[in-house]
Chain A
Amino acid sequence: MSTPSHVAAHVHAPPQGFLRKYIFSTDHKVIGIQYYLLALVAVFVGLVLSLLMRWKLAWPNDPVPWFGDGPMLPEQYLALVTMHGTIMVFFVLTTAPQSGFGNYFLPIQIGAADMAFPVINMLSFWTTFVSFLVMVAAFFVAGGAPISGWTGYAPLSAVGEIAGPGLGLGQTLWIVSIAIFCAASLMGALNFIATTIDLRARGLSLMRMPLTVWAWFITAILALLAFGVLLAAGLLLLLDRVAGTSFFVPGGLVFTDKPVPHQGGSPLLWQHLFWFFGHPEVYIAILPSMGMASHLLSTFSRKPIFGYRAMVYAMGAIGFLGFCVWGHHMFASGMSPYSAMAFSVLTMSIGVPSAIKTFNWIGTLWGGQIRFTTAMLFAIGFVSLFVTGGLSGLFLAQPPVDQPLHDTYFVVAHFHLIMGVAAIFGIFGATYYWFPKMFGRFLNEGLGKLHFWITFAGVYLIFVPMHLMGFFGQPRRYAEGTAVQFLSAMQGPQQFITVAALVTGAAQLIFLFNFLWSLKWGRKAEAINPWRSTSLEWTIPSPPPHDNFGGRQPVVYHGPYEYSVPGAPEDFIPQDAPPRTAPATGD
């Protein structure tokens, strides 16, 4: 009864106190898994929505499953666009890498028994859960889900159902859900930051923190500063809708011959407030995956991360610059060319820390003894997608280039690769890496590699053609273009992309099967450190006991990436290994 493998088999067994232990638990590990499972449900909902859109785009006049006998209506398509974007950005990309893995592993990697405020932690999960229910409820109310996009641009989102289906109760639910999500994220961010500052183990100086911890920490700072702004914007939008104020609704608007009784509001004000949140949100989605990819690249190259300090400073720079560039989403909204130039220069300057990170990732791989585990493949895939998606950002950062490309498929391709798929690859890599620690069993590597290769090829087949279609002027958010000559010429690529998306989407079922099957029948993680990693979670049993370190208070003597150290007995030195002769410098 005393080996880790038995824990894997029995730790979930006690039925007593189920509610407190697994539902309303204050244990950061349970909460991390709850967040992960919520994101897992959300990602499949979002995936199905995107496949329905793809179906409509490829065969616009054919019936679409669940949408009746006739073709899908344009407003139904826009509702799918809105809900796909919203669910993916908030309930997947913000939830899984930060709240899921961060909750589970940040306390352990810093040698703590839990988060600083466990009850607030529990509240932030359940608040997020309520937010998700409210969001999904928008599908089922009169008028259906909103059609104003995940950016909720005013005045479309502000004037109510007069502006279109879904803009009545559906839009109100959308705003309420986002507001609840903001509150949840603020509680989570507060917890992450306080935990990192105050609960680190003895010896764990800032420059000995794993890059995962740095990424979660910086992401939490971004969330703390950004979500309050979105909450304020959402409050004003809600008042415009229900209380007759005119923050965002301009005067003189007429919908289907009916004048809207508002005056003088500014749609641009909504855009400024939204994107002041929205751009940092992009980094909230991608930074944790940067940290996790760095961690995996070092571990599976058996080499120290190349330029650890530069990696930390680069993440800090990306986080800081992320607050200075929101205007690049608004080049086409009517902006002074001088402002646009400032936003453009600041945006392109993000290329510098991004290039530093990419250089260092490749430097880490260079000359390493690379182990191509599934986790490593996804980490390398992350770097590939980050570069591909990042390069198109340099095009869009320039106002003269952005003008023709704005609102085309080029933008869709750009943000899906850099923010969506790259972040998802970070999540997948982390899942394959940490699954044995979380559940005491391995995911199947064969299925994992199959999943990786189909997904990796699939996302390029989906999104590379979109860049070209964007160059040819294919606008986004249009349900179909068959009636327009130059757009109808792109029906072939549309169908190609849809087939690629259906195959890639189906490949995710391999992952889902692997995940569920391995929970019960996966190979047992007999060793507590099967990947021979250095960070603290690999010094404790799988899954870890209630208080993580079993009453022990770990002391850290080493930096996080001491792999292949000359003279060391093994090719890795755990962070808490006592120094053999002289005290280790660690960093």
Chain B
Amino acid sequence: MPTTVVEELDRAAVGTGGRGPDRRDGGDGDGAPRRAKPPTPRSAYFTGLVLGLAAIFMFFIALASAFVVRKGLGDDWRSFELPGLLWVNTVVLLASSLVVERARRLLRAQPAAGFGAWWSTGSLLGIAFLAGQVAAWRQLAAQGIFLATNPASSFFYVFTAAHGVHVLGGLAALGYVAARGAAHQQSTGNLSADLTAGYWHFLGVLWVGLLLLLTFGR
């Protein structure tokens, strides 16, 4: 039968090997007995994370260089006072990172007592950061400073919005880890918790960099 050709061929060409029929990916959904593909090694996920962060970094580097060039070329740049709330938000985001890191380290103990509480607290602090950013936007809007008001404000909104979108992605990952719970983490070598924490720390450092650029570059 055609459905078994691949399997037959495998036996004929390379011997029976050591694995049973595929169950990991359901044989791509058709129920045909197919050999499982070996799982992706843990190291590849961290390589992937670093590469993803490198791509995000290049995206923000491009925006930052546009910021510097645009400021240098135009004569229409009008600086404005950054809302003081941004510094509070920064503290909240960095605290969130620390709390998430604390939760991640709790996974080393068996059972991971308190993981859920710490991880959820870190996630809530992340939500608080985003809420704070929106509040800072509203403060500026109340002063009549909008996206198109001036290149300085344009860049401010672009930086904070682009960072915020990445934070939203981080919150989704944090929520996923929280929902699956500590037992799931420990049965999978803490993979998603480690990846999420790495991404989350990056977003904290990235935000500090952006805030310094906005503060000293405006």
| Chain A residues near B15 (CB-CB < 8 A) | 552
A205 to B69, CA, bound (A): 43
**A228–B62 touching, CB < 8 Å:** yes
**B62–A276 touching, CB < 8 Å:** yes
**B66–A232 touching, CB < 8 Å:** yes
Q: Interface extent on A, as a size class?
A: 35 or more
**A246–B76 touching, CB < 8 Å:** yes
| Chain A residues near B27 (CB-CB < 8 A) | 17, 546
A545 to B6, CA, bound (A): 6
**B69–A272 touching, CB < 8 Å:** yes
> Shortest beta-carbon distance, B182 to chain A, in Å?
25
| Chain B residues near A409 (CB-CB < 8 A) | none
A14 to B3, CA, bound (A): 6
**A547–B36 touching, CB < 8 Å:** yes
| Chain B residues near A117 (CB-CB < 8 A) | 40, 44, 48
A351 to B61, CA, bound (A): 29
> Shortest beta-carbon distance, A183 to chain B, in Å?
10
> Shortest beta-carbon distance, B81 to chain A, in Å?
20
Given the known A-B contacts A190-B51, A236-B66, A551-B35, are A20 and B30 also in contact in the complex, defined by CB atoms under 8 Å?
yes
Q: Interface extent on B, as a size class?
A: 35 or more
Residue B154 at the A interface, CB < 8 A?
yes
Given the known A-B contacts A4-B9, A236-B158, A551-B17, are A21 and B66 also in contact in the complex, defined by CB atoms under 8 Å?
no
Residue of A nearest to B13 (CB): A541
| Chain B residues near A101 (CB-CB < 8 A) | none
Residue B144 at the A interface, CB < 8 A?
no
**B154–A232 touching, CB < 8 Å:** no
Residue A243 at the B interface, CB < 8 A?
yes
A553 to B61, CA, bound (A): 41
| Chain A residues near B148 (CB-CB < 8 A) | 243-246
> Shortest beta-carbon distance, A17 to chain B, in Å?
3
| Chain A residues near B13 (CB-CB < 8 A) | 2, 4, 528, 540-541, 545, 550
Residue A6 at the B interface, CB < 8 A?
yes
| Chain B residues near A4 (CB-CB < 8 A) | 9, 13
Q: Contact partner of A27 among B28, B47, B66, CB < 8 A?
A: B28
Q: Contact partner of A186 among B47, B55, B76, CB < 8 A?
A: B55
Beta-carbon contacts of B24-59 to A below 8 Å, as 1s and 0s?
010111111011111011011101100110111111
A266 to B71, CA, bound (A): 10
| Chain B residues near A16 (CB-CB < 8 A) | 3, 30-32
Beta-carbon contacts of A3-17 to B below 8 Å, as 1s and 0s?
110110011011011
**A199–B36 touching, CB < 8 Å:** no
**B59–A264 touching, CB < 8 Å:** no
Residue A116 at the B interface, CB < 8 A?
yes
Given the known A-B contacts A245-B154, A541-B13, are A194 and B51 also in contact in the complex, defined by CB atoms under 8 Å?
yes
Residue A273 at the B interface, CB < 8 A?
yes
A5 to B15, CA, bound (A): 18
**A266–B3 touching, CB < 8 Å:** no
> Shortest beta-carbon distance, B113 to chain A, in Å?
33
Residue A582 at the B interface, CB < 8 A?
no
| Chain A residues near B84 (CB-CB < 8 A) | none
A25 to B25, CA, bound (A): 11
Most chain B beta-carbon contacts within 10 A, residue among A20, A232, A233: A232
A514 to B62, CA, bound (A): 45
**A546–B74 touching, CB < 8 Å:** no
Residue A562 at the B interface, CB < 8 A?
no
Residue A137 at the B interface, CB < 8 A?
no
| Chain A residues near B38 (CB-CB < 8 A) | 113, 547, 553
Q: Contact partner of B2 among A13, A18, A549, CB < 8 A?
A: A13
**B25–A550 touching, CB < 8 Å:** no
**B37–A266 touching, CB < 8 Å:** no
| Chain B residues near A268 (CB-CB < 8 A) | 73
Given the known A-B contacts A17-B28, A551-B10, are A264 and B74 also in contact in the complex, defined by CB atoms under 8 Å?
yes
Q: Contact partner of A550 among B5, B17, B28, B29, CB < 8 A?
A: B17
Residue of A nearest to B17 (CB): A551
| Chain B residues near A551 (CB-CB < 8 A) | 10, 14, 16-19, 35
A14 to B25, CA, bound (A): 17
**B11–A269 touching, CB < 8 Å:** no
Q: Contact partner of B66 among A199, A264, A273, CB < 8 A?
A: A273
| Chain A residues near B62 (CB-CB < 8 A) | 228-229, 231-233, 273, 276
A1 to B60, CA, bound (A): 56
**A228–B58 touching, CB < 8 Å:** yes
A269 to B64, CA, bound (A): 12
Residue B214 at the A interface, CB < 8 A?
no
| Chain B residues near A549 (CB-CB < 8 A) | 14
Residue B63 at the A interface, CB < 8 A?
yes
Task: State which residues 142-188 of B face A: CB under 8 Å.
Answer: 147-148, 151, 154, 158, 162
**A228–B56 touching, CB < 8 Å:** yes
| Chain A residues near B54 (CB-CB < 8 A) | 224-225
Task: State which residues 68-105 of B face A: CB under 8 Å.
Answer: 69-70, 73-77
A94 to B59, CA, bound (A): 20
Q: Contact partner of B47 among A20, A198, A225, A243, CB < 8 A?
A: A198
**A251–B76 touching, CB < 8 Å:** yes
Residue A193 at the B interface, CB < 8 A?
yes
> Shortest beta-carbon distance, B58 to chain A, in Å?
4
A233 to B51, CA, bound (A): 20
Residue of A nearest to B51 (CB): A190
> Shortest beta-carbon distance, A235 to chain B, in Å?
7
> Shortest beta-carbon distance, B130 to chain A, in Å?
20
**B66–A269 touching, CB < 8 Å:** yes
Residue B109 at the A interface, CB < 8 A?
no
Residue of A nearest to B39 (CB): A113
**A546–B69 touching, CB < 8 Å:** no
A229 to B69, CA, bound (A): 15
Residue of A nearest to B5 (CB): A10
> Shortest beta-carbon distance, B74 to chain A, in Å?
4
Residue of A nearest to B26 (CB): A20
Q: Contact partner of A263 among B3, B11, B76, B158, CB < 8 A?
A: B76
A26 to B29, CA, bound (A): 11
> Shortest beta-carbon distance, A73 to chain B, in Å?
34
Residue of A nearest to B153 (CB): A245
| Chain B residues near A189 (CB-CB < 8 A) | 51, 55
Q: Which 9 A-B pairs have the closest CB atoms?
A: A551-B17, A17-B30, A20-B29, A264-B76, A264-B74, A2-B12, A550-B10, A244-B148, A232-B62
**18 A–B contact pairs at CB < 8 A?**
A26-B28, A117-B44, A190-B48, A190-B55, A191-B48, A198-B47, A229-B61, A232-B60, A233-B62, A235-B158, A246-B76, A247-B151, A265-B74, A268-B73, A269-B69, A273-B62, A545-B10, A550-B10
- Could you list 4 further interchain pairs (A-B, Cβ under 8 angstroms) beyond the known A21-B28, A272-B69? A2-B8, A117-B44, A235-B158, A546-B22
Q: Which residues of B contact A (CB under 8 A)?
A: 2-6, 8-19, 22, 25, 27-32, 34-38, 40-41, 43-45, 47-48, 51-52, 54-63, 65-66, 69-70, 73-77, 147-148, 151, 154, 158, 162
Q: Which residues of A contact B (CB under 8 A)?
A: 1-4, 6-7, 10-11, 13-14, 16-21, 25-27, 113-114, 116-118, 186, 189-191, 193-195, 197-199, 224-229, 231-233, 235-236, 239, 243-247, 251, 263-266, 268-269, 272-273, 276, 528, 540-541, 545-547, 549-553
